[in-house]
Structure 1
C-alpha cells in the first residue's frame, strides 16, 4: 500500500479520535468522539474499514491506556501494517 494511503488514513484517524477525552483506557472511550459512532468509515484508495471492524481486528495490537491521539494513531497504523491490511 502506498505512503499516500497511510498518510491519508493517519489524518482520518487523527481527526476522528482527537475529540476523545484523553487519556483513554479502552476502545469504548473512543466511541463518543467518532462522527458516526462505531459505524464511522475510514477509506483511502482500495482500503475501507469501519471503526467497529478496526476494533475487532486490532484489539490485540492496542496498548491501552493512551495519553494522546498521536500514540493511539501510531498503534492503529502499526496494527494495520502488522495484519497486512495496509
Structure 2
C-alpha cells in the first residue's frame, strides 16, 4: 500500500466513529484514540490530528454527514500542502 493509500485508510479508521453529522474539527476529537495527539503516519509522512487541522484543514467544508467526504477533503488538503510526492 502506498503512503497515500495507507494515510487515507488511517484517516478513515480514525474518523469513522465520530458522531455524524460533524460541524467542526472539534467534533472529531472524541473519535480519535489519542485525541488531538493521535498520529497518522506511513513512510516519510507523519502528522498529528492537531497538525492536520492547522496545516491541511483549509480544504474542509463542514458540516459532514459521514466519513468519506471528510476524508476526501482532508486528502485533498494534504495533497495541496505537498505531503505526497
The normalised TM-score by structure 1 is 0.93
1:26 and 2:49 matched:
no
- Is 2:57–2:74's contact at 8 Å kept on the other side of the alignment? no
CA distance in 2 between counterparts of 1:7 and 1:65 reads: 24
Task: Give runs of ≥4 in structure 1 deviating > 2 Å.
Answer: none
Q: Offset of 1:52 from its aligned partner?
A: 0.3
| 1:18-69 Cα distance to aligned partner (Å, 9 max, x none) | 0100110000000000000000000000110000000111222111011110
- Give the alignment of 1:57-68 within 5 angstroms: 57-68=55-66
Unaligned runs of 5+ in 2: none
C-alpha separation between the residues in 2 aligned to 1:42 and 1:62? Answer: 18
Matches within 5 A, 1:8-47: 8-47=6-45
Provide structure 1 residue ranges, at least 5 long, that are not aligned to the other structure. Answer: none
Note the aligned Cα RMSD (angstroms).
Answer: 1.0
TM-score (norm 2): 0.94
